[in-house]
Structure formats: C-alpha cells, structure tokens
Amino acid sequence: MPEENKRKFALWIHPDTQERIKELYKKDNCKSQSEFIEKAIRFYCGYVSSESGMGFLPTAITTAMAGIVETSENRVARLLFKLAVEMSMMMNVLADTTEIGESYLRGLRGRCVSDVKKSLGAVTFDEVVKKQGNQ
C-alpha cells in the first residue's frame, strides 16, 4: 500500500505494549513501528473475521501440519498391521495346541472386552496372570 494513502491518528497503548513493539518490529522485517502495528491489526482482523482460526493460518504451517499428521497416520497403520500379523500368528499357534470350546471363548471374549474397557486399553500380561490366579 502506498505511503500517501496512510492517515495519521492518535493511538493510546500501554507502555509495556509499546516496549514489545520496539523489541519486535525489526525481527518481523518491518521498517517502522507503525508498519508492525498495521500488520498486527490486519492479522487480528483476519483472525476475528474468519469462521475459524484455522482458515487464517499461513499455508506453509497447515501444509506442514498435514504432512506430519499423514506421516504419523502411515506409521501407526504400518505398526497396527504388523501387530495384527503377530497376533494372528500367536492365535493360530495357540489354537493348534489347545482344545477350547466355543462357550468358553464367548465368555472369555466378554470378560476381555470388560477388562480392556476398564483399563482404557492398557491391559498388561502381569495383570491378567494375577486376575487368573484369583479365579
């Protein structure tokens, strides 16, 4: 925006705010404190007028965040797949070596679902062994 279109007006701010402006305006590559204040006002106006603050975040930040999330999702998906394969192998070995009836399995499944819900998914082998010893 051309300098000739700017207007001068009185601005009342707290001294500590003015000190922060003096500290930061050069770090933001502003030529003056006025330029820094105008950029800050424009940023805040954009934030307030947007439906959500996310719409106002710079594209680089949102792109980087999306990339991080996608990488994390892919890693978790790969680890879950590997875990499922290991669980399947373990269940097949166990099924080959034991003779467990369907009614026992149904009861066990219900008990296990209850245990996992109570523990928020953090069931340890030690806890199961202790519980099995009590029954």
- What are the pLDDT digits (tens) for 81-115? 999 999 899 888 888 888 888 888 889 888 888 88
119-134: pLDDT as tens digits: 877 777 888 788 777 6
Q: What is the CA radius of gyration of the chain?
A: 30
How deeply is 115 buried, as exposed, middle or buried, from its count of CB atoms within 10 A (0-12, 13-18, 19+)?
middle
Q: CA-CA distance, 123 to 44, in Å (whole number)? A: 47
The pTM assigned to this predicted structure is 0.43
Instruction: Return d(Cα 97, Cα 99) in angstroms, integer.
Output: 7
